[in-house]
Chains A and B, each alone.
Chain A
Amino acid sequence: MRKIITIIKREYKEAVFKKSFLILTLLMPVLMIGMAVLPSLLVMMETKKPFRVHVIDQAGWVFEPLRQSLNDTLKTGKPKFVLSRIDFEQKNLNELLNQQKELIKAEQIDVLLVIPKNIDSISVADLYARNVGDFDMVSRFKNTLSTLVSNHRLLASGLEPELINKLIKPVKLETTKVMRGRKESKGGFMSEYMTTFVFIFIIYFTIIIYATAIMRGIIQEKNSRIVETILSGTNARQYMTGKILGQGAVGITQYAIWVGVGLALVFASGKFLPVRSFTISPTTFLYFILFYILGYFLYSTLYAAIGAMVNSEQEAQSLVTPLVFLLVIPLVMIGMIVKDPNSTVVTTLSLIPFFSPIIMFARINLANPPVIQIVLSIALLILTIAVLIWLVAKIFRVGILMYGKRPTFPEIIRWIKY
C-alpha cells in the first residue's frame, strides 16, 4: 500500500505541475463560459441599424397593414423596420426590379419585398436581401404576411377574422415532470436533453482525457526503460494501480477547480449562465460521481493494458479505436435515450458494463429506473472492473518488459497464462 501511495504521489506531482495541466484547467472554463455566454452576447449585439425595406405592392392593399404590423423597435427605441412603398406603374416591372436589386448590392437598402397582384390566391411573395440566412428577419416577414393575407381572405369571405382566430386558437401544452422521490419540475424535451447531454458529455470527455494520459504515461515509461527499475521495488499490479489512482486524483483536482470556478461565476454573474436549465438533484449528482469513477476505472484499466502492449502511440491508435467506439455509442444514442429511457434496448444497454456508466446515469437522470436495475448495473460494473484489473495486471506484467514488435492477440492470451 505504501508503495502504491509513493507511485500515486509521484504521478500526481508530475502531472499537476505540468504546463499542459495548467493550460487545460484554465482553458476549459473559458471555453464553457464562452459557450454559455456567447448566445446571450450575440443577442445583445443584435443589429443596431434598422432594416431599410422597399416594398413593391402590386396587390395594393398590403403595404399599409404591413407597415403597421412591423412595428418592432430596436434597443435604442428606434423602429427596426423602415418601410417605403415603391411606385411601379410608370415603369416596366423587370427594369424596376433590376434597379432595386442594384440598390441592395450597393447597400442603399437591405430588403426588397415584392407582393404579387393575386397574392390572395397564389400565396407567394418574393423577398430579396443580401443575407437571406437571417432566420429571425425572414420568419418575421413570412409570419406577418401570412397573417395579413389570411385575414384578408377571411374578410373577403365575409367572416370576422378576430372571431375566427379566437375559435381556432391552438392549445398550448405545459409539461411538468413528476417522479418518485423528486420535486416536480417544469421542463420539456430540450431541457432534459441538454442536462443529460452536458453530464454524459463530461463523463465521456474526461474518461478519454485521463485514460489516454495513463496510456501515454505507460508508453513513455516503457520507452525510457524506467519500468524495470520501478519493478525492482514493487510489482506490476502496484505500479498499474498507482498510475491509475494517481491520474484519477489529477482528474479530481481538475474537477474541483472547475466546479469551484463555475460556482464562483454563477454567484458573480448568474444572469449570463443558463443555470435554470441545468437543474440536477443532489442524489443524481452523487450518481454522476459514482458512475464517473466506475467508468474511469473500467476504461483506464483497458487503456493501461494497451499502453503495456504497444511501443508507440501510433501503434496504440488502432487498439484504442474500439474503446472510443464503445464510449461513443451512448452519445450517439442520446436522442433515443431521452425519448424513451425505459425501452428494452436502452434498459439492456444500461446494464452492460461498457455502456452503463453513461447510459444508466442518463436513465437515472431521466426516468427513475427501478432500484434493482441500478444496483445490478453497479454490481456488474464493479465485477467487470475487478476481473479486468486481475486480467490486465497479468498482461501488464509481461507486456511492460516486451519491446519490439506489437504482440498479436493469441500472444496476449498466452501472456495471461505466463
Chain B
Amino acid sequence: MEVLKVENVSKSFDEVHAVKDVSFTIETGKIYGLLGPNGAGKTTTIRMIMNIIMPDSGKVTLFGQSMCDELKPKIGYLPEERGVYPKMKVRHFLKFLGELHDMASAELDKKIDYWLKRFEIATMNYFKVEELSKGNQQKVQLIGSFLHDPQLIILDEPFSGLDPVNVNLVKEIILDFKKQDKALILSTHMMEAAEKICDHVYLINKGQKVLDGPIDEIQTQYGHNSMQLEYKGDGQVIKDLPIVTNFNDFGNFVEIQLKEGTTVNDLLKELINKIEIYRLQAKRSTLNEIFISLVKGGEQDA
C-alpha cells in the first residue's frame, strides 16, 4: 500500500538548487534507503516531507492527503541534527515528545515503559538526559521518534554514534517494524548497513535522483562484471587491456571491471600467458562501489 508520494519537488536556497525535481513513492512493509553524499539534498528532501520547509514546487502526499502540519504526528522522524533538553528527566522528555505527537497520557506511560525496557535503559527513567552517555541519549532520541507508533518512520543516520551491539539492536527493531507492515526510510552513509536491510534504494546526488530501484536489481545491473585478482607480474598489462574499463590497485590485489558483453573467460585468455594468476574472484559490487561510481560519474558529467 502506498504511504507517501513525493512528486517533482524542488527547493532552492539563494540560487542554489538544493533539490531538483525529485519524485519517489514509499509503500508499507518495505525499508527504503535514501542514500547520497554530504550535501546531496537528503535532509532537505526529508524536511520537505515533514513540512518543516516548503517545496518551491512539487507535491508531497501522505496517506492520500496533501501534506500539512496536522499530519506530522503520523510520521516518526529522527532528524540527523537531533538534540535533547539536557535538564529534563528522561521520562519527562519522552512524555513531552509523545504529547507533541498527539498521544494520550495513559497510553504514553505504557509505551515509554516498553521502549525503555527494549533499549535496556529502563533504570534511567528519572535520570536527567544530560547524565546519559551519548549512545544512551541517542536511544532516547530513537524512542522519541517511534513512541507514537507511526505508520511511516524516517530515520536520518540512525546508526551513527552507536556501538556494534546497539547497531544490531536498532537493526532488529527496524526489521520488526517491517514485519508490522510499517514503511521505513533510512537516510544513511553506512552503505553496508543499508545494503543488508534495505529493500529499495533511492540515490540522490546534487539534488537529483540518480538511482532508483530494488537493491537486488541494482546490484545485478551494476555489479556483474566486477572481479578481484591476485597475480605476479606487470599490472600495466591488465590495465592496458581494451576489455578492462576500470582498474583499481589495492596493493595486495586489484579490482577490475570488464566491458559489458565480455566474460571472465575472455579475460583469462588475454592474461594467461602474460602474468601468473594466484586468485581470481568474480563478485557483486557493493552498494558502496555503485554509490561511488555513480557519484563520481556525476561529477565528470558536470
Contacts and interface: CB of A to CB of B under 8 A. Distances in A.
Given A229-B141, A232-B145, A401-B53, A224 B84 contact: yes
Contact of B101 (A227, A233, A398): A233
A232 B51 CA distance: 9
A235 B85 contact: no
A230 interface: yes
Given A233-B97, A233-B101, A401-B47, A226 B53 contact: no
B86 A6 contact: no
B88 to A, nearest CB: 7
Contacts of A3: 99-100
Query: Number of contact residues on B: which range applies?
Result: 20 to 34
Contacts of B144: 229
Contacts of A397: 53
Interface stretch (B75-83, B197-205, B245-253, B279-287): B75-83
B73 A231 contact: no
Contacts of A418: 53-54
Contact of A228 (B51, B82, B101, B102): B82
Contact of B79 (A14, A224, A228, A235): A228
Interface string B91-129: 000001101111000000000000000000000000000
A414 interface: yes
Interface in A214-236: 221, 224-235
Contact of A229 (B53, B69, B79): B79
Contacts of B145: 232
A226 B75 contact: no
A243 B100 CA distance: 14
Nearest to A403: B81
Nearest to B100: A233
A136 B42 CA distance: 78
Interface residues of A, number: 25
A231 to B, nearest CB: 5
Contacts of B81: 225, 228
Contacts of B77: 229, 232
A134 interface: no
Contacts of A233: 72-73, 97, 100-102
Interface of B: 14, 47, 50-54, 69, 72-73, 75, 77, 79, 81-88, 96-97, 99-102, 141, 144-145
Judged by DSSP, the binding face of B is loop
A299 to B, nearest CB: 25
A252 B81 CA distance: 34
B302 to A, nearest CB: 25
B14 A226 contact: no
A46 interface: no
Given A233-B72, A233-B97, A227 B51 contact: no
Contacts of B53: 397-398, 401, 418
Nearest to A228: B79
B280 to A, nearest CB: 49
Given A225-B81, A232-B77, A232-B101, 6 more contacts: A2-B99, A10-B85, A224-B85, A229-B83, A233-B102, A414-B14
Contact of A232 (B75, B85, B88, B102): B75
B72 A226 contact: no
A320 B278 CA distance: 72
A308 to B, nearest CB: 14
Candidate in B97, B100, B145 with the most chain A CB atoms within 10 angstroms: B100
B257 to A, nearest CB: 40
A414 B16 CA distance: 14
Contacts of B82: 225-226, 228-229
22 contacts: A3-B100, A6-B99, A6-B100, A7-B100, A10-B85, A10-B88, A10-B96, A224-B85, A225-B82, A225-B83, A226-B82, A228-B52, A228-B81, A229-B77, A229-B83, A231-B50, A232-B77, A232-B101, A233-B73, A401-B47, A401-B53, A418-B53
